[in-house]
Each structure stands twice: as C-alpha cells, then as structure tokens.
Structure 1
Amino acid sequence: MKKLFFLSVLLFGIFSFSQTLSSTLNKTTLALGEPAVLKINIENLQGKDVKSAPKNELLPFHLEETKDEIIKKQNNYTREIEFAVFEEGKFQIPALDFKIGENTYKTIPYEIEVINTAKKGDKISDIMNNKEVKLGLKDYWQLYKFYVLGAIALIALFIIIYYFIRYSKREKNTPKVISNKTLKDLELLKKKKYIENGNYRLFYVELLEITRNFISTQYRIPANVLLTDDLIDFMKQNNTISQENEKVVEDIFLRGDLVKFAKTFPDKETMGADFNDIKDFVKRSSKDIEFENIRSDV
C-alpha cells in the first residue's frame, strides 16, 4: 500500500512539472485553395523559452501559409498556422520540432489529401457581362502620358548631349584658344633661360617646333611635315597667312635651320628679338583667320 502511494506521488510530480505538447489539424481532406488550420499547444511551461522554426517557415514549402500567429504566456504557448494547398495530391506535414528549455519535443505527423471539387463540364460564367468602354483623348493621355513624357525627355537629353559635344569641341579649337595655348608654351620656353645661358641651338629647336605646331593647328597648314623651304613656298601660294606674319616665319625659320646646322651663331639680342616676333605673330594670327573667313564667305 505504501509503495502504491509513493508511486502515485512520483507520477503526480513528474506530470505536474513536465510540459505537455499537443497538436490538432482541423481538416485532413481539402479542396484546392481551401484553408486549413494547424494548432500547436504547449502547457505547463513554467516560464521556459520555446524555440521553433521562424514565422511562415514552419510548414513544408508546398503548403502556403496565410497566417502564423504565436501567443505565449507564463505557462501556455499556442501557435496557430492557417495554410492552403493549390495542387492536387497527398501531402505530408512531418513531425515538427519544438525546443522547450533544454529538451526537444515533436508534434505528430499528418497526411493531407487535396482534391479538385470542380466537375468536368462545369460552366464558368462571369458575374457581369463585359462592357465596351469608350475612351476619350483625356483617358488616352492618362494611360500613356508617362511614355510620352519619357520619350520627350529622352529626345531632349540627346539634343543637349549633341550640342554640348559640338560646341565644346568648337570652343577648344577656336583661334583664340589655340593662340593662348601657344603663348603658354612660349612662356614655358622662356623660363628655361636658353637665351640668358646662350644655349642658342636648343632655343631655336624648341621655338621652331612650337611655331610649326601652331601653324599646323591655327592655319591648317602641314607645317610639321614640310621642310622649311617647302613650308615657305606653301605659305606664299596659300595666302592664308598675312605677308607681315609670313615674313616673320620665313626669317626665323631660315635662321633657325642655320643655327641647328652650326652655320651661324646668333647673339642674345637676336634670340630675344626672334622670340618676341614669334610671340607677336601668334597674337596677330586671329586677324589672319578672320580675314580668311571673310574671304571664304565672299
């Protein structure tokens, strides 16, 4: 008798301090898309934490969850999942893991059968007959205005890019811009102090190179590939460069060739005068271009 009493007390203690997990499924046969509810309940929690799969991820992927609600209290835990299946056939809900404190519990598995309740030959009717709606200009504008505005914006963007490229190139190649660049190159040459140091050969080599590049760019004359004599003949026949500027280029280029081949040795005054003459020639070149443009128009 005493043994029976102690056994009863022991069983009562075990059940009074253990957790009870139960699950219910309201339907095991479903129509396509019909909702079903799986409910998991845990009692006698005693404040322990419950861990399981995250919301909307508890059931297999072919069971589409539409609701997943968890209610947890001090001694109770309830999780209610509403789901639907959109394929015919038999599907399994496996045993689901729930960790309570340090222990893991499993629900019982279920098998669900999904059937198509529509019968062959059933007629499907619209609730209302189709109606023809006449659209006005305002309606068409509301439908397509964003396409029209997008097309206009795209065309405007292309026009802006075109003119930007066109005028930016033109700005870079204006006579004034070319002259200013060459004047900067001449100032860099002056800072090398070839004149002060009497380094006449390097002075004339670089002075003629700068001038050739300038003539090629400003006047569109192939000065970079022509010998001095050919360049002088070309300038005289072309008549693009004024006679004043032409004379400056001829004198300095002929003297520069003599210097390069050590046939003459200019003094500092001559070198300085040639530098200033080329500088003045570059500044005056815009007048040559203006005259040529007027002549071309005529």
Structure 2
Amino acid sequence: MNNNLTYITTPKNAILRALSLFLLLFISSLQVQAQDDVRATIDSTSILIGQQINYTIEALANDGEAVIFPEGQTFSPLEVIESYAIDTASSTSARMKLIKKYGLTQFDSGRYVIPKQKVIIGTRTVETDTFLIEVNNVILDTVNQGLYDIKPIIDLPRDYSNWWKYLLWIIPVVVAISLFLWWLLRRNKKQKEAEQYIPPFEQAMATLTALDSKNLIAEAKYKEYYSVLTDAIRRYYEEKVYDRSMESTTDELIARLEMERASGHIDFSKHTIASIKDIFKRADLVKFARVNPPEGKAQADRLAVEDIVKQTREALPPPTVEELMMQEDYREALSRKRKRKLWLSGIGGILAILLLATGIGIAIKGYSEVKDFVFGNMTRELAEGNWITSEYGIPSMVVSTPKVLTRQEVPLPPEAQGKIEATAFGWQTFPANVTIGVYQFKFPKGADVKVEQLISSQLAMFEANGFSADILKSEKFATPNGAEGIKTFGSGSQVIDQEKGTVDAGEYAFITFQAENVIQQLFISWHDEDPYGKEIAERVMQSIELQAKEKEEN
C-alpha cells in the first residue's frame, strides 16, 4: 500500500483554488494599501507626570472621500487634553493628505499602551498601531533645594459683582429725593421773594403803577379797577394809620381817620378826608350797585389817590427807633421761621420718600430682604460670597469655607504631650454667629481610641467654657468621595454674660472620621434662628472630602 497521499485536482478544483489564492492576495494588497493610507506617530515615548504627548494621525484620501478621525476619550488610559483642528497637506499622488493632532497626558506614573485608533476613509475602516508610553515620577531634590516659609494669608478683595442690584433700589430713591429737594428750594425761593419787605409807600405807588399798565378802563372793568385803587389806600393805612383798614367799611374807615385827625396823631386836612370819602363812596357804587362812573372820572380818581398817598406820608410822623427795631425783629423772626419750615419740610419729605420706598420694597421682596439690604447681614454675605476650598492636615481633609481656616494652638495635658500629635484650624465670625474648626489627632500605633470618648471629652471642655449641649444625636455620615464617619449633632446654649444671665442658643455638629491611629474632625456651630448660618453649615458639611493616606505619603 502506498503511504504517500496523492491529490487529484479536477479543473473545477483548480479554478477554485486559483480564485481563492487570487482573493487572498487581493485582500492582502488592500490591507497593505489601507495601512499605507493611515500613519500614526508620537513625539515621545517617555514623559513626566502631567507632560503632554503629541499624537499625530496622517490619512490619505481620494477626492470626495469623507475621513472621520477618532473623537472623545478613545486613547484611554491616557487622557485627551486637547484635540487640534484638522490640517491639510499636499501629497505626491493625486490624493489629499489630512493631518489630525491630539494632546495626551497621564497623571499617574507607570507604563501605558495607547490602543489602536480607528480612522474611517470613505467605506473603509483603518486601525493605527499601538504605542507603549512610560510615565515617570517627578524627582524632588529635597537636599539641594531649600524650603520656603509658609506665605501669609492674603485678604481677597470684596466681591462687588452684585452692585447693580443695589443701584436698582438706590437710583430711584436718589432721583425722588433730588426732585423733591429741587421743588422745595424753588418754592422757598419764591416765598422768600414774595415775603421780601417793601415799605408801605413804595408798595402803594407800585400798585398804582401796575394799575396803569392794565387796560381795565378801556375794557369797562370798573369794579376790578376800583377794587385795586381802594386797596392801595387801605393797605397803606393798614400799616401806617389803622391796623384794621382792610376789613373796615367806608364809614368806619372815614370815622377812624377823622378821630386820628382830631386827636392830633396825624395832620390830615379836611380836604384830604373829603377826597377819600368821595372816592370810596363812588367805589362802593361801582362794586355793589354796578354804577359806572362818569367819563373821565376813573382817571381823575386814580390821580387823586396818588395825591392822597403822598399827602398821608407827609402828614404821618417819622417812625421812632422802637418802631424800626420792631420791624427789623419781625423780619428776622420771619426769616428764621421760614428756614425752620424749610428744614422740617425737607427732612419730613425725605423720610416720607424713604418710608414709601421701604414699603414698596417690603411688598415686592419681603421684610427680611429689605432688612438685610438696609442694615446688612453678615452671615448672608458670607453664604452668598466667594468661598475657599483648602486642605487641612496630613492626611488632609478638604473643606470649603467662607474664609480660610487659620492654624490654632491645641493645648494638651502633660501626660499626652509627646504621645499625641494634635493640629487644629479654625475661624469664626464676630460676634460668633458661625464657628468652624478642623481637628486632627494622631495616636501611637496600637492605641485603643474610642471616638465616643473623644467627643465626650470635647463636649466637657466646651461646657467648661460656658457651652452646654442640651440635645445630643448621632448618625452615620458619608462624604462625596465615599469616606464614612460619624455625625454627632444637636442644640445647645452659650452663656454670653454671667452677670446679666445672657444666654445665646445655637446648634452644633461634629463630623468625625477614624482611620487606624488618626482621627479627623470637623466642628461647626451656628445660631438656630439664623437661616443663613444653617445654610453655611450644610454647605460646609457637604464639601468634606478625605484624601487617601497613601496619596498623601506619595
């Protein structure tokens, strides 16, 4: 028996084998061609932590073919920190070369492989080569490089980003007060000009001159004409002869003038009194009986009144020193009264505008919003201001607070010194509406430390300083990064003044974490009636994160 195997090939089998061989060679040529169409390069295979690697993909495409490069975090375990825009370059062939660059990095040391990246050219999908990257640690020279002192705390500038909200209230109030003061000063100026003292004779002559400028006789307005004419005499006599001249009847006034003449107080002639009586009687007929005067009589009475005023001034005795002093005192008193009225009106008007603006603000925003705007609210400004996120202690506790916590001295009993390491960071408002403290205790390895005993000793210390815990509760607590601890919280009271017996109520919370021989704590207290203090406390407790001990040592 022949052990050699002999294959008999028929024409059909030969054709199939030839076709298979052709397809295999064709596919291989396509793959080689596809691999030639895409090329990936990197500028470095060894970097330090955080340094950037430039990853470049070059693709050749025919005219009209779409090219799709990788997008997103497809380079994991390396991170894409920047994806550059696609660039074009000329090619030796008729095809176009497209260039795509990526910026990659890694923040942990080790050896990493950049996986294959898929590039789609038309209907084809081409994969790039893999690359091995070595990420090295940064070597710190702690021998030759000196250490620097801790930099002092820098006060950040106040946040004025919400200044426009204050202007929405201040500008309308300022405009209203300005308009009111302008109106008040303008009115006072007019009153001052109106109250400016004019001697009786000059005032009477000015009234007669003003009467001449009016066209009352041509318009047959005799009633108004004679009213002005007789009032000029009455006002003059009101100050110089008889202080009830304006309200007296014609007969009463004539009788008073005759009495003054008979007593010798005023050197009136009988002709002057007769002229006054004749003019006043005619004026009464015009005003009450509507009897028009004879033609030309109104002009004659006007001239007669002017002569009567002049004759009266000559007949009156000169004013005494006492009269002049009384007039001066009267003018000064009138000026003081006007100034006092101006001040009272101004202050009253401004207060009314402020009260109105306050009422509108309360109706729109509410009482607490207006109160905080006018008088300020320290805890609200802290709650709504810029916060600071810092790390405290080693291993560190990350906490966000309104202000940075400063290092505090921790007094230890003599028996604990040298055995326990204690660090503390704290901050509180003044007055103490909000108090925040971060504590860390390191015990000897193998020491049996109970968190409950530590909290009890801390509460006892607080009570020795005047704080008493009225309610004490305890529950589990977890940070956003998964660290578990115990939350001890409740309400208490603080003695502010022992002599007066002043007590301030508030709430407090201990967040305690224990890992091996290290205990980390966050303490915070706030007023129980202050909503913004509670908001600060909740935000601080929600921001707690614990850094791993291995990371700190690294």
The higher-RCO structure (CA 8 Å, 6+ apart) is: 1
TM-score per shorter chain, which class? 0.3 to 0.5
Give the number of the structure whose alpha-carbon radius of gyration is greater.
2
Q: Could you tell me the TM-score, scaled by structure 2's length? A: 0.23
Q: Could you tell me the TM-score, scaled by structure 1's length? A: 0.40
The structure with the greater share of residues assigned to helix is: 1
